[in-house]
Amino acid sequence: MTSFSDLNLDPKVLKAIEATGYTTPTPIQAGAIAPALEGRDVLGIAQTGTGKTAAFTLPMITRLAKGRARARMPRSLVLAPTRELAAQVAENFDTYAKGSRLKKALLIGGVSFKEQDQLIDRGVDVLIATPGRLIDHFERGKLLLTGVEIMVVDEADRMLDMGFIPDIERIFEMTPFTRQTLFFSATMAPEIERITNTFLSNPEKIEVARQNSTSDTITQILVEHTPKRRDMTAKDKREILRAIIERDGPELRNAIIFCNRKTEVDVVAKSLKKHGYDAEPIHGDLDQSHRTRTLDGFRDGSLRFLVASDVAARGLDIPNVSHVFNFDVPSHAEDYVHRIGRTGRAGKSGIAYTIATPSDEKYLDAIKRLVKADIPTGENPWTPPGAREEPAPAAAEEDTPKRTRSRSRAKPKRGEDAASEDVSAGRTEPQPEARPKPEPQEEPRGRSRGGRGRSGSESGGRVIGLGDHVPSFIEMSFEERRAETA
């Protein structure tokens, strides 16, 4: 079995590794460190929680041990998709670079430009940044990338999901052609493969786990629910979430609850706090200091529930998460792998619940195709109020024929035809006898044929309501009026 001492790392780096308690490298570390120390390009494909950060941090520190940084010209560059992941890389660098004189700078949003400019002006060996903030500094003339010797792209597939690929291509063009590139991703989408073919030169490819696979240490449970009304879906899912939390009891030490939308993150966190649970939201719209404080609280155990958008799904090293909840089924199947990968890390067991409704069927099918396995269905612990079995109808009621009404709007027929129609429609009552039509009577003079345009009652050919004097043209029939006009 390979040990860190067999990988030709700098003695100071080995001492820092020993202080952390690690003795054996993970498969991705064992495969990537050796070619990286030789200066070769590396393409690493591994699921989350396998130690990819150390796989590029350790050889980078060893190679940069010799040399000196110049103002505004970093010697190496690490790109991360989110602020949290960039901050985590910076923490790893601080851990493994103890005893060396290497300097770093962290360029992320939500932090003052002035403080970051001061660090760059003094010269840094390692520049860790998100793509947007890095381009901001470059366009302001505060940064030059012509001195980059090593470039690292971490969580490349997440970069693709967040729309950073054009920025990544632009940053690649800012760096020297002779740079060394270390490229790490959990999945290998076609667009990611295109970039690696364009910007990597004969890379050493290390794939330590089946692509798009989930860890065997994670128990996956699908909880299905069909809401009575579409507008009650979110409320019902919150009820199910709380019911699962209560049912699992002490086994649920802490949990990350993932939602698809930032607004839903706030609603779920507020609902949990309202019902007495210790929960806080984290998403991209929150201030960076708030996000950092929330993550620190979740790591040290003072916060039990972290309600998050996918900003927290990739790369965050929180080793003791007992549960993960997919409050919303992710619309991208790859996100499912990364979400549930927050639990079951470092050989520990974990549970991942997914709450699904009938409208999530297409997303579930995509997840099953990706991981090449079904998600076991579990029991729904929540019963909607008023959901009980209907009592069986009494026998007497079953024997009594029900009356039905005809939906036809046609005028009812009389006589034998009407009777047969009533029988066919289910009516059994006897129909009244047809009354004979009255003989037509001659209309009195002065009466308008058809009776239209006239109000009041008629009496003796006189129009009531006009007084004793009735104009002669009113009393004339239509034929008499037409003959007089002619």
Q: What is the pLDDT of residues 388-397, one digit of tens each?
A: 544 544 444 4
Q: How far is Cα 278 from Cα 384, in angstroms, rounded to an integer? A: 25
| Prediction pTM value | 0.67
User: Is pLDDT at 247 greater than 90 in this prediction?
Assistant: yes
CA distances from 311 to 182, 249, 262, 339, 392 (A): 23, 28, 10, 10, 52
Helix (H, G, I), strand (E, B) or coil at 32: helix
Helix axes of 165-174 and 190-199: crossing angle, nearest 10 degrees: 0
Burial zone of 7 (CB within 10 Å; 0-12 exposed, 13-18 middle, 19+ buried)? buried
- Report the Cα–Cα distance between both ends of the chain, in Å, rounded: 122
Counting every residue written for the chain, the total comes to 486
**What percent of the chain is predicted at pLDDT more than 70?**
76
**Greatest mean pLDDT range, 168-182, 325-339, 382-396:** 168-182
- Picking from 93-97, 200-204, 227-231, 480-484, which range would have the lowest pLDDT averaged per residue? 480-484
What is the reported pLDDT for 128?
97
Domains of the chain are: 4-207 (3.40.50.300), 218-371 (3.40.50.300), 445-486 (no CATH)
What is the reported pLDDT for 237?
97
Q: What is the pLDDT of residues 303-317, one digit of tens each?
A: 999 999 887 656 577
Residues 71-99 as b or e (16 or more Cβ within 10 Å = b): ebbbbbbbbbbbbbbbbbbbebbeebbee
- Closest to 86 measured CA to CA, from 311, 268, 416: 311
What is the reported pLDDT for 283?
87
Which phi and psi (to 5°) does residue 468 adopt? -75, -30
Q: What is the pLDDT of residues 23-81, one digit of tens each?
A: 899 999 999 999 999 999 999 998 766 788 999 999 999 999 988 888 999 999 999 99
